[in-house]
Amino acid sequence: MLSWLPHNVSTFGGSVDSTISLIYYIVGAWFLAAEGLLVFFALRYRRKRGRSAFYKRGETARQAAWILIPAAVVLCLDLGIDASGASTWHLVKETLPANAVQVQVTAERFAWKFTYPGPDGKFGTPDDVTLINELHVPAGRPVELILRSKDVIHSLFIPNFRFRQDVVPGRTIDAWFESRTPGTYELGCSELCGDAHFDMRGTVMVQDSKDYAAWLHKTWPSAAAGSGKVSAQANKG
Ligand SMILES: [Cu+2]
């Protein structure tokens, strides 16, 4: 049923999936009921010799109830979905875990630039490193993304993390995720931003502590007297 969703590998993905499945089952049940009734009525009241069509104006309370009661039920289910999704929204969009690895993300037509602060832990210094369409993150640590756009609205989408965040020119937006499952996952732009929109495709590499330390060591060799030092300092927060 929901098996077409990409395999979830983020800590909050399960909550997002439960909201998706709640909507899926509620909307699915209404879809079957509405289409079933449509077909039933089309057959039951089809044109027959000797029977003419009639029009009900819905003026009596009893007739209006056929509209108002289903509308009230739909409204209640909608509010139920809102209430159930609120805690997920709070977790994903309104909290920022401490001890997160920080990465600046700059979106521009047509690439993602991921900037790391380097061993000094500060952005805007000579040891910053920027990768294009390639994001390296440690497994089991929250990652804070500081998102900006140089031109138009983009949207960073990482399906396996259930992560999606619009990137809006003139604004700096913080977002986060955490994955405990090492692997290589696809990222993309999910906001049509121009004729080479499809070029904004890249990879997220979730690396276990050994591989991540090796990547830090390779990226900042001069600071790697102990890769532990690099990782401790890249570890902001
Ligand atoms: Cu884009």
Amino acid at position 90, single letter: H
| Distance in Å, CA 200 to ligand 1 centroid | 6
pLDDT band at 226 (very low <50, low <70, confident <90, very high): very low
Looking at the chain, how many residues does it have?
237
The phi, psi pair for 192, rounded to 5°, reads -60, 110
**Torsional sign, CA 5, 10, 15, 19:** negative
Ligand 1 center–CA 106 separation, angstroms: 11
Q: Would the CA dihedral through 96, 171, 86, 27 be positive or negative? A: negative
Beta bridge partners of 146: 104, 174
Comparing CA positions, the residue from 144, 134, 129, 143 lying closest to residue 185 is 134
Residue 221's pLDDT band, with cuts at 50, 70 and 90, is confident
Q: How far is the CA of 177 from the centre of ligand 1 (A)?
A: 20
In 3D space, the residue among 153, 155, 105 whose CA is nearest the CA of residue 130 turns out to be 105
Query: Which residue, chain included where needed, has tokens 């050994």?
Result: 210
Domain ranges of the chain: 13-46+57-93, 101-234
- CA 178 to mean position of chain CA atoms: 13
**How far, in Å, is the centroid of ligand 1 from the Cα of 143?**
21
Rounded average pLDDT over 154-175: 96
pLDDT one-digit tens code per residue, 88-137: 999 999 999 988 999 999 999 999 999 999 888 899 998 899 999 999 99
CA of 203 to the centre of ligand 1 (A): 15
Spatial distance between the Cα atoms of 114 and 106, rounded to a whole number of angstroms: 7
- The arithmetic mean of pLDDT across residues 168-176, rounded, is 96
Choosing among 3.40.50.150, 3.40.605.10, 2.60.40.420, 1.10.10.60, the CATH entry for 101-234 is: 2.60.40.420
pLDDT at 237: 35
Rounded distance between C-alpha atoms, residue 201 and residue 186, angstroms? 7
pTM of this prediction? 0.82
The predicted structure's pLDDT at residue 50: 87
Ligand 1 centroid from CA 155, angstroms: 6
82 C-alpha vs ligand 1 centroid, how far in Å?
A: 29
For 48-66, the pLDDT digits (tens) are 898 888 888 888 999 999 8
Distance CA 85, CA 75 (A): 15
Distance 40 CA to ligand 1 centre (A): 46
What is the arithmetic mean of pLDDT over 203-208? 96
Q: Ligand 1 being an ion, which residues bring their Cβ within 5 A of it?
A: 154, 189, 193, 200
Residue that the structure tokens 């999704």 belong to: 85
> How much distance in Å is there from the Cα of 105 to the middle of ligand 1?
12
